[in-house]
Amino acid sequence: MGLRFLVVEGNTRGARQAHREAYGLMPSESYAAVLQEIEGEAVCDLAFPADEGANLPDAAGLESYDGIVLTGSHLNIYDRTPDILRQIDLMRAIYASRTPCFGSCWGLQVAAVAADGDVQVNPLGREVGFSRRLTPTEAGRGHPLLAGRPAVYDAPAIHLDMVTVAPEGCTVLASNPVSPVQAAEIRMNGGVFWGVQYHPEFSLGELAVILRRRTEILVREGFCRTPEDAASYTDDLAALQDEPTRFDLAWKHGLDAEILDPERRTREIRNFIAQRVKPEKSARGRA
């Protein structure tokens, strides 16, 4: 029997539909496709806790999954609006269910806040395109989440907020000059969460689509001088998606196999499945 995942979409209805119109899939659908590419027989259900009245799993429902994955989001968790509070409550229920859980970007932030940590705007500004010079901590060098990652690596990313107060029970696994918490394990109420501030699930094609929709931000915040510069950058990413052997573009943007090779780019997700989901499924007697 294939693995059964719950993919928790962090976005509101409008944001996820806009992503589908631009990319063809909602973020949760795209994440599910990555899981199914790694595990061909995986079954993925989607949940939308940002929606008022959403049909969310109860405690027994959460326990029935082999793994739970949290996507990114356009929301800012410190706003504490009802669509955000529902997600924090769901994360606390996930901890209590003890079901293996992984999250990217917003997922890490929700997991930190649900465990009484804090998230605020990064005073250094937005991290866009790629998280550079990610470096495992001493704890991270021996942690299975980062198994196979080199001593320094890059990963797709786009975020303005970051974990500013790590909760009790948090072990920071990787950092970089922009954010001190780039990967972490968080333990709460018997549950264990693994997460990253970056996006190992993003292909270069999806990243290009996301950045095209943020051309104004790229120019306003000084990442690109003109809209044409921004278009040239995203066109290069899309070209690399189609032709990952384009050494000229990889050299131009300083990208190596940690990003260009899909298996290496998704390393943390693969490690989560191999080191947390499958062993726990076996321990629960579901093998």
**From the candidates 39, 127, 201, 268, which is the catalytic residue?**
201
**From the candidates 44, 101, 105, 224, which is the catalytic residue?**
105
Say whether 201 is catalytic.
yes
Q: Domain locations in the chain?
A: 4-201+266-283, 204-257
Model pLDDT, residue 283: 81
**pTM to 2 decimal places:** 0.96
Say whether 159 is catalytic.
no
Packing angle of the helix pair 82-97, 106-114 (nearest 10 deg): 70
d(CA 213, CA 91): 29
**From the candidates 199, 224, 258, 268, which is the catalytic residue?**
199
> Per-residue confidence of the chain (287 residues) as pLDDT tens digits?
799 999 999 999 999 999 999 999 999 999 999 999 999 999 999 999 999 999 999 999 999 999 999 999 999 999 999 999 999 999 999 999 999 999 999 999 999 999 999 999 999 999 999 999 999 999 999 999 999 999 999 999 999 999 999 999 999 999 999 999 999 999 999 999 999 999 999 999 999 999 999 999 999 999 999 999 999 999 999 999 999 999 999 999 999 999 999 999 999 999 999 999 999 988 877 55
Say whether 199 is catalytic.
yes
Given phi > 0 = left and psi -120 to 50 = alpha, else beta, which region is 105?
left
Contact 71, 10 (CB under 8 A): yes
CATH number of 4-201+266-283: 3.40.50.880
Model pLDDT, residue 3: 97
